Structure formats: C-alpha cells, structure tokens
Amino acid sequence: MGTVTSLLDRRLYTFAQVDDLLGLRGSTAQRWIDGYRRQGRDYPPVIRRRSTGNPVATWGEFIECRFLAEYREAGVPMLHMRPVVEKLRAELGTRYPLASAQLWLEPQGREIVARVQDEVGIEQSLWVVRTDDQMLPIDWTPPSHRFQESLKWSSPPLQLPVLVWATGTDRQVEIDPLRSFGEPVVRGVETSVLAELHRAGDPIEMIAELYELDVPQVVAAIEYEQRRAA
C-alpha cells in the first residue's frame, strides 16, 4: 500500500505545467485541483476534498486532470463533476477515485459509476458510463474510454497508473512520473529536445538516427510539442 501511496502522492507539477502538458487553458488545472475565487465567491475544487493552497499537483491529481480534460468540451461547468468524484471517493475509499484500478479495471467499476451517476443526476454530457439504453450492457462513454486507453497500469496486486500516453492511441509519447522528472519522452528522450533539434533545422531522419528512434516516433514528439506551443 505504501508504494501506491508514494507514487500517487508524489508531487510533480505546478498547475501551469499540468495545463501545458494536457493542453488546457491557463489556470484550468488550478480551478479543477484546488478551486478558485471569483467576484468574492469561493468555488470548491473538483479533485481535492477542499482547497489546500498547495500549488503543486501530485501524480494522482495529474491523472484525474487527464480524465477531466476529456470532458472540457462538454459545455457545462466541470464543477458539476464534483459530486460524482466525492461519491466515488467515499465508495472506493481512495483519495484518487478517478485514478483507481477498482474503478477502471475491475468488473464492478462500471456498475458503481452507473449507480453514482444516477444518484447525482449529472448531465448526460458528463456521463462516465452509458445507461440510457436498457437493451445494451453498461459501457464506458467515448471520453472515459479515451482516458482509459491513455493509461498504463502496473501489474497486480498493486495496479496503479504508472504512465500516461500523451498522444492517444498511437502510444508514442509517454509521461512517466519516474522518468525525466515527469516530462514527456519518446523512448527515454524528452520530446522538447527532439523538437528543438527540428526547429534548429536538423532533418527528422538525422534526429531519429542520432537517438536510435524510428521516424514516426520523432514525428510524434515534434507534433506533440507543436500542440503544446499552440
């Protein structure tokens, strides 16, 4: 249990770094993780139980932001997801319910989410599982499925998210909390290094040969860094 706690609780990123790595608008991670104040009113966080004022996100909080990022185009305030997170935290008995193997890897995970969704009455655009068709089994919605596919889990019995694939299903760019201080890498080489060489005029093929990478890996790194800079 100590290993699980030590990895998920490892403090890695400033809120600005979380925004950068996940392609979020400025201050989004701060609002989601630690809440915010606007026009004299305090808004509670979605991820933390309460605002702590700590400006550094843990690996577990980063993972949960990665989940919420899939819903940023839902058209409703992400704060509406807070009751779901609170109930799942109590149900699963973990500080990081959205990063829990019990939720994503065990058969009863979808049933737990379906029950919580029903109890909270959350908007359909924020659903984690589909429950609108009684003729079909409960299944993950597209946003939650994309999130699930972006994670690599450690082996049993611990089973915790040890890596995020930053570029989706092609699984080229990795974010690993135990490598390069959590910076995105391609086979151990930071994407920022590869992109900087390309900006300096080095051909992609030369960069690939220099670092013993495949050309598609270098291309993925460059495209990822271009999205970060956009």
Q: Give the pLDDT mean for 200-224.
A: 97
Q: What is the pLDDT of residue 183?
A: 96
Same domain, 153 and 199: no
Alpha-carbon distance 30 to 37, whole Å? 11
The number of distinct structural domains making up the chain is: 2
From 160, 181, 207, the end of a domain falls on 160
> Could you tell me the sign of the dihedral formed by the alpha carbons of 162, 13, 47, 25, in that order?
negative
- Asked if 59 contacts 71 with a C-beta cutoff of 8 angstroms, the reply is no
Same domain, 124 and 214: no
Same domain, 40 and 98: yes
Confidence of residue 169 (pLDDT cuts 50, 70, 90): low
Q: Give the pLDDT mean for 196-223.
A: 97
Q: Give the pLDDT mean for 109-130.
A: 94
Supply the mean pLDDT for the chain.
93
Same domain, 126 and 170: no
Q: Is the pLDDT of residue 30 over 50?
A: yes
Q: What is the pLDDT of residue 136?
A: 73
Confidence of residue 1 (pLDDT cuts 50, 70, 90): very low
Same domain, 154 and 199: no
Alpha-carbon distance 197 to 79, whole Å? 41
Same domain, 24 and 83: yes
Same domain, 202 and 97: no
Q: Is the pLDDT of residue 3 over 80?
A: no
Confidence of residue 5 (pLDDT cuts 50, 70, 90): low
DSSP codes, 7-74: HHT-EEEEHHHHHHHHTPPTTHHHHHHH-EEETTEEE--SSSSS-----EEEHHHHHHHHHHHTTTTS
Confidence of residue 137 (pLDDT cuts 50, 70, 90): confident
The answer to whether the predicted template modeling score (pTM) of the entire model surpasses 0.85 is yes
Same domain, 115 and 50: yes
What does the angle CA 66 – CA 142 – CA 24 come to, to the nearest 5 degrees?
30
Which domain covers residue 69, as residue numbers?
Answer: 2-160
From 114, 138, 160, the end of a domain falls on 160
Same domain, 142 and 195: no
